[in-house]
Amino acid sequence: MRLQIERFLTRLRAAKNYSPHTLRAYRADLGGFLAAFPDLESGEIDRSHVRRHLAELQSGEASRATVLRKASALRSFVGFLRSEGELRRDPFLGVPLPKRIRSLPRFLTEAEMDEILKASVSSAPGGERDRALIELLYSSGLRRAEISTLNVGDVDFLSGVVRVFGKGSKERVVPVGGDALKCLRAYLRSRGRPADGEPLFVNLRGLRISQDGVMFLVRRWIKRSSLLKKVTPHVFRHSFATHLLNHGCDIRVVQEMLGHVSLRTTQIYTHVCLDRLREVYQAAHPRGMR
């Protein structure tokens, strides 16, 4: 089965452009299934193996989201085996899965975001870079993986947009605000105006900043601000979407900017935009006006 897992991961990487992060997660999840059934051949997987594996996952300390992710990895692998003719029947057929609970995204208020953005730039090396990165995160709602892979030429300063390659290497164009563009110009001047093909954000050794590096810089910036909250790069993305919707931006436009394939993924933000919903209701409903 180990060989089939490697073939499956190669298929995901070559044909479906899965990210390295997703491939690592799938490898670990399938490795757990392999460890539970070390002598099992890939063509022998049946409902009893799936049920036992899910039961063991749910009896442990893993969260529901983790259990569902591991189940999804195994289900995708099973689908691959069936497409290859190794399995005739779907071992997931009739196996109940725990229901997914969609938690509301954590976001910052506009006042809290102002507190973060007005933090002073450090005089230490990398200060201009940190300011530009923070501004771009909030201005364009990018994922940390997308920030990490940006090149200098991906930012169009004339049009005020950035070209982003999101999940599955899907390309999209996202607007960049004036403050973020100003900070990016200052940062690139401090680097001696690098060529278009060079990484947009680099570490102190001049190498492309990693996803972990983006996380580190965000945490360090938050510590310098007066905000006493745990903030991750994804909180900037949630805040970006929430603030746009609160100010009347069409949800399909937000979907396009976030790079969501399904509108259902974007609709979760409507549940946190209560102020905007209340304003629309009061303005539109005959009995809603005070």
Helix (H, G, I), strand (E, B) or coil at 171: strand
Choose the catalytic residue: 138, 187, 269, 276: 269
Number of other residues whose CB lies within 10 A of the CB of residue 177 = 14
Q: Is 243 a catalytic residue?
A: no
Q: What string of DSSP letters covers 34-98?
A: HHHSTT--GGG--HHHHHHHHHHHHHTT--HHHHHHHHHHHHHHHHHHHHTTS-SS-TTTT---P
Looking at 129, 143, 144, 243, which residue is catalytic?
A: 143
- Catalytic position from the list 70, 129, 237, 276: 237
- For the sheet with 161-165, list strands across it: 155-156, 161-165, 171-175
Taking the C-alpha atoms of residue 120 and residue 108, their distance in angstroms, rounded to an integer, is 19
Q: Select which of 75, 167, 182, 185 is catalytic.
A: 167
Q: How far is CA 43 from the centre of its chain?
A: 34
Q: For this structure, is 237 an active site residue? A: yes
Q: At what angle do helices 127-140 and 110-117 cross, to 10 degrees?
A: 160
Amino acid at 204: L
The answer to whether 107 and 239 are in contact (CB under 8 A) is: yes
Closest by CA to 233, choosing from 254, 261, 211, is 211
Catalytic residue among 129, 243, 260, 276: 260
Based on the residue annotation, tell me whether 269 is a catalytic residue of this protein. Answer: yes
Residues near 247 by beta carbon (within 8 Å), at least 6 away in sequence: 276
Tell me if residue 26 is catalytic: no
Which residues are marked as active site?
A: 143, 167, 234, 237, 260, 269
